[in-house]
C-alpha cells in the first residue's frame, strides 16, 4: 500500500453561508452578555467614578501582577505540557500510556481543592510563586492535551525530509516538529493565560493579589458592586491584549489534512540513559499535581469528626452536578458548532472577529458572569431565572471558547474536499452537514464536550448565584462544608467531584491518540 498522501489545501476565501454566519453571530452574542452587562453598569458609574477606580497606582500594580502571573504560569505550562507530550508520544519512555493519563488528570482537580491541599500541607505556602506553582500543576493539561494529539497525529514525512537533508534530531525537533505543533501550543497557552486571569480559587487561598481577587475584595469588603464591575472591565482589556497576541502568532493560509489511509506512527526517539530521569521527572510532577491533593483529602477525612449528612446527600449532589454540566456542555457545543465551522470552512474577517469575540469574556471571574446572567435573567429571560437553563447559558458564556477551539480543530482536520464532492453530487447543504461534516468532526466535538463538561463540574461562583433555589451540586456542597471548616464532611464531596471529573479527562487523554495501541518497536531514530 502506498503511503498516505499529505494534501495541502489552499484555503478558499469563500463568503460564508448566511445561515451559518447568523447562527455563529447569535452564539457569540451569548458570550457577549457579560460585556453588555459590564457596559451598562460601568456607564451608570459615570466617568469620574470610573476614573477614580481605574487610574490608580494600585490598578496598575494589580494589572502588572496579573499579567506576570499569567506569563509565568503559561511559560511553566508550555514547558511542562510540551515536554511531557513529547516524552509520551515520541520516545520509548517506559509506561507511556500511564504517564499520558497522569498528565491529563490534573484537569479533574479544581484549583480550590489543590490550593487548599497545598496550604494545609506546606507551612507558609502563600504568595506569587506558590500560586504560580499550583496553577501550573492544575492547568498544564490545557497545553499537554492538544500538543500530545498534534504530536501523535503529525505526519512524519516532513521530519523525515528534514532528517534526510542532514539536520540532526534536535534541529529537526525545533525546526520541524515544534513548528508543526505551534498552533496547538499557542491555543493551549491562550487558554492557560485566560484561565489564570479569571481564577479565584487558587489566588484567594494561596493569597496573591491579582485583579480577580481585587474584584472579589471590592464586593466582599465594601459591598461595592459598581467598583467591582468597573475593575472587571480591565480584565476584558487584558484579555483583548492576549487574544490579539495569540492571533498574531498564528499563521494564516494553508492547512494540512491527510486523505485516505491511516497515518503512520511518528518516529520514536530512544531515550537511552535519559529513560529513568525522564520517567522520574514525570512521576514527580504527577505526585505533586495528584498525590498532594489526594493525600490531603484523606487527611481531611481522618482529622475531623464532622460527617456528611449521608451518602444520599453526596449522591444527589453528584446527580445534579452531572445533570447541569451535561446541560451546560450540550448548550455550549450547540453554540460552538456554527462558530467553529465558520472558522474552519469560511475563514475571513467575519469568522476571525466572531471567534475572537467569543474569548473576550473568558477571563472574567465566574462571579461577574454570574451577576451578568442574573441581570439578563431578571430583565430579559425572567421565566428562565433560577432554572438550570439559565445556569447552562452561563456555562456557555463562560466556556464557549473551549468548545469553539475543539470544533474548529476537528473541522480543520476533516478535508473539505469530501464535503465539496458530496455537494457536487447534488446533496443539499444540510444533508452534507449531517452525513459528511458531522461524522467527520464528531470526535472533536466529543473532546470539546468532555472538556466543557468537566469545567462546568468544577465551576463554583456562577453556580452559586444562578442555580435553582434548593439545588446543590458537588461544587456547592463542597463550598458549604468548607465555609464552616467542616473539612471531614467536605472530603467525600471533593473526592466524588474529582473522580467524576476524571472520567471526561480520561476520555480526553484517549483522544490524544497516545493510548491507542502502537507498534511498540516503532521506527527509531537517534
From the list 104, 117, 346, 432, which residue makes contact with other proteins (rule: CB under 8 A)?
Answer: 346
343, 408 contact by CB (below 8 A):
yes
Report d(CA 339, CA 347) in Å as an integer. 11
4, 264 contact by CB (below 8 A):
yes
375 binds other proteins (CB under 8 A): yes
- Residue among 287, 367, 293, 330 nearest 114 (CA): 293
Interface with other proteins (CB under 8 A), residue total: 73
Grid coordinates representing 402 are 473551549
From the list 7, 382, 417, 442, which residue makes contact with other proteins (rule: CB under 8 A)?
Answer: 382
224 binds other proteins (CB under 8 A): yes
259, containing H or E segment = strand 255-259
Q: Which is nearer to other proteins, 357 or 457 (CB)?
A: 357
Provide DSSP, 114-182.
Answer: HHHHHHHHSTT--SHHHHHHHHHHHHTHHHHHHHHHHHHHS-THHHHHHHHTT--HHHHIIIIIHHHHH
**Measured CA distances, 240 to 215, 325, 343, 348 (Å):** 19, 28, 19, 19
Contact region for other proteins (CB under 8 A) — 315-323, 401-409, 420-428, 483-491? 483-491
Q: Which is nearer to other proteins, 383 or 520 (CB)?
A: 383
Pairing mode of beta strands 5-9, 255-259: antiparallel
From the list 158, 247, 283, 480, which residue makes contact with other proteins (rule: CB under 8 A)?
Answer: 480
Q: Which is nearer to other proteins, 95 or 298 (CB)?
A: 298
218 binds other proteins (CB under 8 A): yes
269 binds other proteins (CB under 8 A): no
In angstroms, give the least distance from the CB of 39 to other proteins: 7
300 binds other proteins (CB under 8 A): no
510 binds other proteins (CB under 8 A): no
Of 54-83, binders to other proteins (CB under 8 A) are 58, 61-62
15 binds other proteins (CB under 8 A): yes
387 binds other proteins (CB under 8 A): no
Greatest Cα pair distance in the chain: 73
Report d(CA 299, CA 310) in Å as an integer. 19
- Residue among 361, 363, 358 nearest 403 (CA): 358
Q: Do you know the residue count of the chain?
A: 526
Grid coordinates representing 51 are 476614573
223 binds other proteins (CB under 8 A): yes
Report d(CA 390, CA 259) in Å as an integer. 42
Question: Mask 110-129, x = binds other proteins (CB under 8 A)?
Answer: -------------x------
Contact region for other proteins (CB under 8 A) — 16-24, 142-150, 290-298, 444-452? 16-24
461 binds other proteins (CB under 8 A): yes
288 binds other proteins (CB under 8 A): no
Q: Which is nearer to other proteins, 258 or 356 (CB)?
A: 356
244 binds other proteins (CB under 8 A): no
147, 181 contact by CB (below 8 A):
yes
In angstroms, give the least distance from the CB of 510 to other proteins: 37
219 binds other proteins (CB under 8 A): yes
Q: For residue 33, give every residue at least 6 positions away whose Cβ sits within 8 Å of its Cβ, in sequence order, or none.
A: 361, 372, 373, 376, 393, 397
313 binds other proteins (CB under 8 A): no
**Could you identify the residue written with the cell 484549583?**
111
35 binds other proteins (CB under 8 A): yes
Q: Which is nearer to other proteins, 95 or 484 (CB)?
A: 484
13 binds other proteins (CB under 8 A): yes
In angstroms, give the least distance from the CB of 22 to other proteins: 8
Q: Which is nearer to other proteins, 67 or 82 (CB)?
A: 67
25 binds other proteins (CB under 8 A): yes
DSSP assignment, residue 299? H
From the list 272, 483, 519, 520, which residue makes contact with other proteins (rule: CB under 8 A)?
Answer: 483
Q: Tell me the β-bridge partners of 524.
A: 268
In angstroms, give the least distance from the CB of 190 to other proteins: 20
Report d(CA 95, CA 92) in Å as an integer. 9
What are φ and ψ of residue 524, in 5° steps? Answer: -110, 145
Q: Which is nearer to other proteins, 160 or 224 (CB)?
A: 224
From the list 163, 182, 207, 299, which residue makes contact with other proteins (rule: CB under 8 A)?
Answer: 207
In angstroms, give the least distance from the CB of 445 to other proteins: 24
Give the burial string for 446-477 (b: 16+ CB within 10 Å, else e). Answer: bbbbbbbbbbbbbbbbbbbbbbeeebbbbbbb
Amino acid at each position: 500500500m502506498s503511503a498516505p498522501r499529505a494534501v495541502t489545501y489552499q484555503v478558499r476565501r469563500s463568503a460564508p453561508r448566511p445561515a451559518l454566519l447568523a447562527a455563529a453571530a447569535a452564539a457569540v452574542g451569548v458570550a457577549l452578555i457579560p460585556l453588555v452587562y459590564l457596559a451598562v453598569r460601568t456607564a451608570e458609574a459615570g466617568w469620574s467614578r470610573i476614573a477614580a477606580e481605574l487610574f490608580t497606582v494600585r490598578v496598575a500594580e494589580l494589572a502588572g501582577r496579573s499579567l506576570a502571573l499569567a506569563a509565568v504560569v503559561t511559560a511553566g505550562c508550555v514547558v511542562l505540557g510540551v515536554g511531557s507530550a513529547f516524552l509520551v508520544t515520541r520516545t520509548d519512555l517506559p509506561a507511556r500510556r500511564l504517564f499520558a493519563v497522569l498528565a491529563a488528570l490534573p484537569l479533574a482537580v479544581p484549583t480550590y481543592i489543590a490550593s487548599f491541599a497545598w496550604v494545609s500541607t506546606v507551612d507558609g505556602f502563600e504568595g506569587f510563586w506558590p500560586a504560580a506553582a499550583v496553577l501550573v500543576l492544575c492547568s498544564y493539561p490545557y497545553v499537554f492535551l492538544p500538543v500530545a494529539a498534534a504530536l501523535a497525529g503529525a505526519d512524519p514525512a516532513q521530519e523525515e525530509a528534514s532528517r534526510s537533508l542532514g539536520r540532526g534530531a534536535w534541529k529537526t525537533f525545533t525546526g520541524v516538529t515544534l513548528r508543526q505543533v505551534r498552533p496547538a501550543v499557542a491555543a493551549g497557552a491562550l487558554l492557560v493565560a485566560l484561565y489564570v486571569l479569571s481564577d479565584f480559587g487558587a489566588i484567594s487561598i494561596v493569597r496573591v493579589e491579582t485583579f480577580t481577587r481585587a474584584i472579589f475584595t471590592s464586593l466582599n469588603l465594601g459591598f461595592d458592586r459598581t467598583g467591582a464591575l468597573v475593575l472587571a472591565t480591565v480584565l476584558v482589556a487584558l484579555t483583548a491584549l492576549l487574544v490579539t497576541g495569540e492571533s498574531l502568532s498564528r499563521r494564516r493560509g494553508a492547512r494540512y489534512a491527510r486523505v485516505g489511509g491511516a497515518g503512520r506512527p511518528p518516529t520514536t526517539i530512544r531515550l537511552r540513559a535519559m529513560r529513568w530521569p525522564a520517567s522520574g521527572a514525570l512521576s514527580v510532577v504527577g505526585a505533586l499535581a495528584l498525590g498532594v491533593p489526594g493525600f490531603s483529602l484523606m487527611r481531611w477525612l481522618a482529622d475531623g469528626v464532622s460527617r456528611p449528612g449521608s451518602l444520599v446527600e453526596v449522591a444527589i449532589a453528584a446527580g445534579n452536578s452531572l445533570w447541569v454540566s451535561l446541560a451546560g456542555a450540550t448548550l455550549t457545543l450547540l453554540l460552538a458548532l456554527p462558530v467553529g465551522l465558520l472558522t474552519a470552512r469560511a475563514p475571513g474577517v467575519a469568522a476571525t472577529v466572531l471567534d475572537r469575540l467569543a474569548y473576550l469574556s473568558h477571563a472574567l471571574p465566574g462571579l461577574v458572569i454570574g451577576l451578568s446572567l442574573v441581570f439578563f435573567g431578571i430583565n430579559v429571560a425572567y421565566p428562565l431565572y433560577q432554572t438550570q437553563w439559565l445556569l447552562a447559558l452561563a456555562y456557555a458564556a463562560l466556556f464557549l471558547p473551549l468548545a469553539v477551539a475543539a470544533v474548529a480543530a476537528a473541522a480543520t482536520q476533516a478535508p473539505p474536499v469530501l464535503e465539496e464532492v458530496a455537494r457536487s453530487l447534488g446533496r443539499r447543504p444540510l444533508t452534507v452537514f449531517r452525513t459528511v461534516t458531522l461524522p467527520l468532526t464528531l470526535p472533536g466535538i466529543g473532546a470539546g464536550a468532555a472538556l466543557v463538561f468537566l469545567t462546568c463540574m468544577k465551576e463554583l461562583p456562577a453556580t452559586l448565584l444562578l442555580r435553582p433555589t434548593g439545588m446543590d451540586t458537588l461544587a456547592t456542597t463542597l463550598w458549604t462544608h468548607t465555609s464552616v471548616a467542616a473539612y471531614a464532611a467536605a472530603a467525600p464531596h471533593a473526592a466524588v467531584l474529582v473522580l467524576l471529573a476524571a472520567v471526561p479527562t480520561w476520555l480526553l487523554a484517549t483522544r490524544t491518540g497516545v493510548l491507542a495501541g502502537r507498534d511498540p518497536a516503532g521506527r527509531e531514530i537517534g
